[in-house]
Amino acid sequence: MAQKKPDLSIEFCGKKYINPFLLSSSPVSNSAEMVERAFDAGWGGVVFKTLGSDRLRIDHPSPRMNSMTVGTRKMSTVQNVEQITDRPLKDNLMELLYLKKHYPDRRIIHSIMGFADKEWEYLAKMSEDHGADTLELNFSCPNMTIEGSGDQAGKSFYDIEHYTSIVKRAVSIPVMAKMTPNITDMTETAMAAKNGGADAISAINTVSGITGINLDTLVPQPEVFGRGASSGTSGPGVKPIGLRFISDMAKDANLNLPLSGMGGIETWIDALEYLLVGASTLQVTTGIMHYGYIIVQDMIEGLTDYMASKGIMKLDNLIGSTLPKLGKTDLFDLDRQGVVEYDLDKCVGCGQCLNVCTDAGGQALKWDDVTRRPELNEDKCLSCMLCSFVCPVSGLIKYKAMPEGWKRNETAIRDPSLEKELKYEPYVHDGDDGCLV
């Protein structure tokens, strides 16, 4: 008999979302016609392409993007040089009215970017007057050609707090600040937004980077008529950075704001990981640029099946579940050690394990030339796990925890006779030498 299905709906900044999956503010949320198709595919909401006031003309560089292929994986990282919308505000507001009217169960978030105090205030009011459920303040576009905007503002505690407070004073709808990852500690920039009154934080915007250089013209890609720039990179390659910043903010008790996570979300597994480190809504662009709006169906289905298999019926019960297990490396129990374990019945004899262990691991493998199979010397295994990463057969090489107290051999010395030439003396310190521990 049909069981009750897990519920993917969630409350974020006091608004109800039918599911946590939102289009992020980007080329995928550029028009009502596009967003409409996305909603029909199942997306729970949109952060519309960042609105501007029309005061300064926006021209996008051409071409706008470059893709980094790793092996057969196309678009493993994508680099873009897009700016905020190039459409007139009037047109955009009509588009947003349309969406509001026809999709009352979807949340419409307006992303805005001003270039002056009054302009932030103006855009915030315009948005509120045209039905925005929430505002997202774009402090994070790394591609703006207009001085002092985008992630230039997002790297300044003053600007973040200042513009946030202007917007907060102007409107009564919730305000979310979107953060740039091109900084060292996001809890600080996020705290500036909170001090300005922000109700939520979204992160990460794209990471400044260079995905490739044209080896004939020597111009970085995308090559805009002879010039290139470090610019916004996104896609599966940036997920570790996004997860890191979201978890940092989620763990910060002082910050304590709802988080909208993004950066490399493509599958339900990526989405779940963001939820587990504390995001409660999720935004996607590059996954859509690669596969289209339809991927939301796989995210919904995959996440629902996962929750059903774990008996978790509400999304809330997942959010932040990883955080208690996530800490600094100095909390690791270094007394416990382990090695790898090989199930050689599954081995196909490629020997990639041997290469990586010999040149980057513990030299713990030998190769049997006759059987063409590796032989492991556990005593030398560093448990770096490199061999398991290159092994073509899943589950052949696994981690094995060793009994408490087990220690591996130290790396052998190439030529012990050199001891007589040593000028070595052990480091001694008397009293306090300023050591941190």
| Chain residues in the site for another protein (CB under 8 A) | 1-3, 72-73, 266-269, 291-292, 294-295, 297-299, 301-302, 305, 309, 392-394
Q: At what angle do helices 295-310 and 268-276 cross, to 10 degrees?
A: 60
Nearer to another protein, 297 or 411 (CB): 297
Least separation, in Å, of the C-beta of 306 and another protein? 8
Tell me whether residue 5 or residue 101 sits nearer to another protein (CB atom): 5
Catalytic residue among 141, 347, 387, 391: 141
Nearer to another protein by C-beta: 294 or 360?
294
Beta bridge partners of 207: 233
Q: How far is the CB of 312 from another protein (least distance, A)?
A: 15
Backbone angles phi, psi at 211, to 5 degrees: -90, -10
Cα 237 to Cα 293: distance, rounded to the nearest angstrom: 20
Query: Shortest approach of another protein to residue 247 CB, angstroms?
Result: 22
Whole-number minimum distance, CB 115 to another protein, in Å? 39
Q: Is the dihedral of CA 127, 131, 134, 140 positive or negative?
A: negative
The Cβ of residue 248 has, within 10 Å, a number of other Cβ atoms equal to: 19
Q: Name 314's bridge partners.
A: 7
In contact, 157 and 188? CB cutoff 8 Å:
yes
CB of 416 to another protein, least distance (A): 44
Instruction: List Cβ<8 Å contacts ≥24 apart for 304-312.
Output: 304/5, 304/6, 304/8, 306/268, 306/272, 307/6, 308/3, 308/5, 308/6, 312/6
Reply yes or no on whether 391 is catalytic: no
Residue (311 or 416) nearer to another protein, CB: 311
The residue among 56, 75, 241 whose CA lies nearest residue 149 is 56
Residues with a catalytic annotation lie at: 141
